[in-house]
């Protein structure tokens, strides 16, 4: 597994004059690519218990957040400048209870067969799921925080497999 320090870290989205441009990936081969991202949503214990009991004022907090994450992954190229629109072949968003936080761990895994990776789609899915969870529960707790969103792993393409250090 290569480290960032072992790679050419030049910015591929900048042209020779420093202007931002979308990278041309038309010559790259289509390969199966996958990325997994995760994040956490921390809240008061009372808010956590209300969500767990299904007593949030706006309804199904976790189901709505999960669906929002899936939908967001599909819209990434509309939200993030210079991202390529990709034919996603799979998006899985899971939200796990973490009573000791208290709160939830959100994880998204996105797959495609394309010329470029799906890291941004996985990160967008986690981010929007977390924002939706906040929105669905903010009537109970304005101090909810979204934390530690990051890429956990990716595979496919020229750079191959990568996994975050624990």
* CATH code for position 131: 3.30.70.640
For 139, other C-beta atoms within 10 Å of its C-beta total 12
Domain count, the chain: 1
CB 151 within 8 A of CB 71: no
Q: How many angstroms separate the CA atoms of 48 and 130, rounded? A: 14
For residue range 96-143, what is the model confidence (pLDDT) as tens digits? 999 999 999 999 999 999 999 999 999 999 999 999 999 999 999 999
Tell whether 65 is covered by a domain.
yes
Domain range enclosing 143: 41-153
Residue 87, in any domain of the structure: yes
Q: Is residue 136 assigned to a domain? A: yes
Which residues form the catalytic set?
135
Q: Could you report the per-residue pLDDT of 35-94, keeping only the tens digit for each?
A: 999 999 999 999 999 999 998 999 999 999 999 999 999 999 999 999 999 999 999 999
Q: Is residue 160 part of a domain?
A: no
In-domain check, residue 30? no
């Amino acid at each position: 597994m290569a480290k960032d320090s072992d790679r050419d870290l030049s910015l591929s989205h900048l042209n020779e004059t420093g202007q931002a441009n979308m990278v041309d990936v038309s010559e790259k081969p289509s390969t199966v690519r996958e990325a997994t991202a995760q994040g956490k949503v921390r809240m008061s214990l009372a808010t956590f218990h209300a969500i767990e009991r299904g007593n949030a004022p706006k309804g199904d907090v976790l189901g709505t957040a999960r669906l929002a994450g899936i939908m967001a992954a599909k819209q990434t190229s509309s939200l993030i400048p210079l991202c390529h629109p990709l034919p996603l072949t799979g998006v899985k968003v899971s939200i796990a209870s973490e009573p000791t936080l208290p709160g939830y761990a959100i994880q998204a895994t996105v797959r495609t067969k394309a010329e470029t990776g799906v890291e941004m789609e996985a990160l967008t899915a986690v981010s929007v799921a977390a924002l939706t969870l906040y929105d669905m529960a903010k009537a109970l707790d304005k101090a909810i925080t979204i934390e530690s969103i990051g890429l956990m792993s990716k595979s496919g393409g020229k750079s191959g497999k990568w996994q975050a250090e624990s």
